[in-house]
Structure 1
Amino acid sequence: MIITDTHTHLYSEEFDQDRTEMIQRALDAGVSRFFIPAIDSSYTKAMYDLEANNPEHVFLMMGLHPTYVKENYIEELNHVKEALSNRKFYAIGEIGIDLYWDKTHLKEQQIVFREQIKLAKQYKLPIVIHCRDAFDEVFEILEEEKGPDLFGIFHCFTGTYEQALQAISYNMKLGIGGVVTFKNGKIDQFLSTIALKHIVLETDSPYLAPIPFRGKRNESSYLKNIVAKLAAVYEVSEEEIANVTTENSKVIFGI
């Protein structure tokens, strides 16, 4: 059984004390494919080092995270463009709009999101979308950019059934993680009506740990808890959840 974590920040400082052991725990749990989203240029070296130490298991994305869109966004975008021109990545991400923490740079976030979607189309790569308190703003841009060359993952999907269908209509898989195990998460109430072919698994570690680890540091081995929850939701075996979602990840990332 191969389980794929489509979104994990394994380079995070929160893993500095036990990164090797944490990755081994994930491998022991069957999680052997880790897709690594970018945040900004300050983390690029750590991402490259992570890949160099785990070349068979780690697959990198490149992008500028919306909460890191500041006055220097042009400089950061140039870093993304330069990196993309120099080596292979498997997605543009994580990108999008976040209005939860700060609405100050909404205009800049919209510019950066559009620009990175264009880069994804240029390099024929998927996008991995970060959306927090911004479904309308994200969907507005996806509506403008929609087409056969736009595809990817709606990371950490926490929206409504209607929003799930809208995301899927833009060739997006739904990234399902720890929230599906929360009592107030709500997505488990309609998820079984969404075909499994539209779902991929993620942890977003070190964030959003599933029950029974909620509130603690998340790690990729905990994906087993999400697999178990989805097996119950879909009334299928854990093996089927792992197999189908891994195949879905291969469709998106091409590996």
Structure 2
Amino acid sequence: MQPFLIDTHAHVYLPEFDKDRSQMILRAQSAGVTQIFLPAIDSSTHGQMLETEAAYPICKSMMGLHPCSVQENYSQEIEAVKNHLAQRRFIAVGEIGLDFYWDKTFVRQQYAAFEQQIELALAYNLPVVIHSRNAIDECIGVVAKHPSLRGVFHCFSGTEAQAGKLIKLGFFLGIGGVVTFKNAGLDKVISAIGLSSVVLETDAPYLAPVPYRGKRNEPAYTKTVAEKIASLLNISLEEVFSTTSTNAEKLFSFAENL
């Protein structure tokens, strides 16, 4: 079977792709990408996300409330998430979690929204896709309380010790363009842990890998991330394709969910 790639995290429904979305999808397919998973942000973008999914069969939606969208009225947003989950099957609850980088005004609400959405994931037997900017240890503390929970720490950029804790909990690490950044240190983590708990992602339109850093990211660059990992581990590109895609299939359980 021809090796293929899965971009497990890309916001291709955002306005950055409005002018060339169809061409971007074709470029992704030409690079070997067969699935693009769309993480939700909040009710202001759910419509665009679902419309993009309907227009492009390669795309599959998650449902959730991004921690940066958690405010005083977060309960209304959680109700929107609940309503969507009750209407149809999604591939995951995400992206959810904690973000203490930009603003700590709503820390208490972020924790509450995170916990409530974990409960939804457990109720629907879905994985979670976790955003943990400046909050990896805090997110580990939350998920450790739910031993049956499964999921991925999106855009993982932590230490080898943190990676080890997550792998022990049965979680996967979402690896994207940051692994190509010279001083990020993620290359050393990947070299130490290998591929057994890794899935690939772009986080498009953000965090484009070298040599595209600073430009708009897109799912075709999943291949660039795979190439970097292959060189770090001194293995074939086909092995990176195969292992990470198998990991994604295992986590997201396509056949059951889609």
Q: Report the counterpart of residue 87 of structure 2 in structure 1.
A: 86
| SS of match in other structure, 2:130 | strand
Q: What stretches of structure 1 of length at least 5 have no aligned partner? A: none
- Does residue 43 of structure 2 align to residue 50 of structure 1? no
Deviation at 1:30, TM superposition (A): 0.6
Distance, in Å, in 1 between the alignment partners of 2:250 and 2:211 is 31
- Name the TM-score, length of structure 2 as normaliser: 0.96
Deviation at 1:143, TM superposition (A): 2.1
Deviation at 1:193, TM superposition (A): 2.0
Deviation at 1:32, TM superposition (A): 1.4
Residues 194 and 233, structure 2, Cα contact 8 Å, conserved in 1: no
Structure-to-structure mapping, 1:78-157, within 5 angstroms: 78-145=79-146, 147=147, 149-157=148-156
AA matched with 1:66:
P
Two-structure CA RMSD over aligned residues (Å) = 0.8
Structure-to-structure mapping, 1:120-199, within 5 angstroms: 120-145=121-146, 147=147, 149-199=148-198
1:85-125 superposed Cα distances (whole Å, 9 cap, x missing partner)? 00010100000000000001000000000000000000000
Distance, in Å, in 2 between the alignment partners of 1:61 and 1:144 is 23
With 115-124 and 135-144 compared, the bigger mean Cα shift is at 135-144
Distance, in Å, in 2 between the alignment partners of 1:185 and 1:220 is 21
AA matched with 1:24:
L
- Name the TM-score, length of structure 1 as normaliser: 0.97
Distance, in Å, in 2 between the alignment partners of 1:58 and 1:217 is 19
1:175-228 superposed Cα distances (whole Å, 9 cap, x missing partner)? 000000000110101312213120000000000000000011000111111011
Aligned sequence identity (%)? 49
Deviation at 1:251, TM superposition (A): 0.4
1:40-98 superposed Cα distances (whole Å, 9 cap, x missing partner)? 0111111111111112x111100000000011100000000010000010100000000
Q: What stretches of structure 2 of length at least 5 have no aligned partner? A: none
Distance, in Å, in 1 between the alignment partners of 2:164 and 2:99 is 21
Q: Report the counterpart of residue 204 of structure 1 in structure 2.
A: 203
